[in-house]
Structure 1
Amino acid sequence: MRTAVMIVLASLGLAVAGCASTIKPEGAAKSVTDLVSKETGFTPKDVACPDGVEAEAGTEFECTFTGPDGDYVANVKVTKVEGENVEFYIQSKLKDS
């Protein structure tokens, strides 16, 4: 699997914590899984994304997964939030490369 630059528009349920909305980790993980599968033909089974990520444009976070040739990191940036629709810019690469 090679380094891939991807963009995805996802409709995610947002969790509301106090006054701030956060992205559900399982929704972000599904977006990464779907996009990696579509772009590379490989479907990761263990995508993990962090809890407590603010649903705000400009927010960045990392998800991790195991690819066919090692551990990968998906750098995710929230580019747009409209209601429960969240747009991400995702770039994945081998960890430590």
Structure 2
Amino acid sequence: MRKAFLVAVAALALSVAGCGSTIKPEGAAQAVTDLVSKETGFTPTDTTCPSGIKAEIGAEFDCKFTGPDGNYVAHVRVVKVNGEDLDFYIQSQLEG
């Protein structure tokens, strides 16, 4: 399951709303949760992302969640900004 989990999440982007000039941590966490759920059938219940990340192209940050076989890190990169809508490239992997 782990290999399929990593590959399925690697190349997708999602949109969420930003708040002024920073990304809403809860919006980014929901984007990660939605993507993992859609691509794997597993829905994380504890996804967390950092606050204070600038809503600009190229910004990168890591979110964390518990997967079916351990702790995961979802590396998130902002690839498009359109007003308050952001497109993310999200790649997750088992932590460690």
Q: Is this a same-fold pair by TM over 0.5? A: yes
Task: Give the aligned length.
Answer: 91
Structure 1 distance, partners of 2:41, 2:75, is 19
Q: Secondary structure at the match of 2:45?
A: coil
Q: Which has the higher strand share?
A: 1
Q: How big is each residue's C-alpha offset from its partner over 1:14-72, in whole Å with a ceiling of 9 and x where there is no partner?
A: 223xxxx0000000000000000000000000000000000000010000000010000
Percent of residue pairs identical: 62
Q: Does 1:10 align with 2:15?
A: yes
The gaps in structure 2 that reach 5 residues or longer are none
Q: Which has the higher helix share?
A: 2
Aligned residue number for residue 83 of structure 1 = 83
**One-letter identity of the residue aligned with 2:24:** K
Moved runs in structure 1, 4+ residues, more than 2 A?
none
Structure 1 distance, partners of 2:16, 2:76, is 15
Structure 2 distance, partners of 1:6, 1:45, is 22
**One-letter identity of the residue aligned with 1:60:** E
Aligned residue number for residue 33 of structure 2 = 33
Structure 1 distance, partners of 2:22, 2:70, is 30
Aligned residue number for residue 51 of structure 2 = 51
Q: Is the 8 A contact 2:16 2:28 kept in 1?
A: no
1:18-29 matched pairs, under 5 angstroms: 21-29=21-29
Q: Is the 8 A contact 2:16 2:31 kept in 1?
A: no
Q: Does 1:65 align with 2:69?
A: no
The gaps in structure 1 that reach 5 residues or longer are none
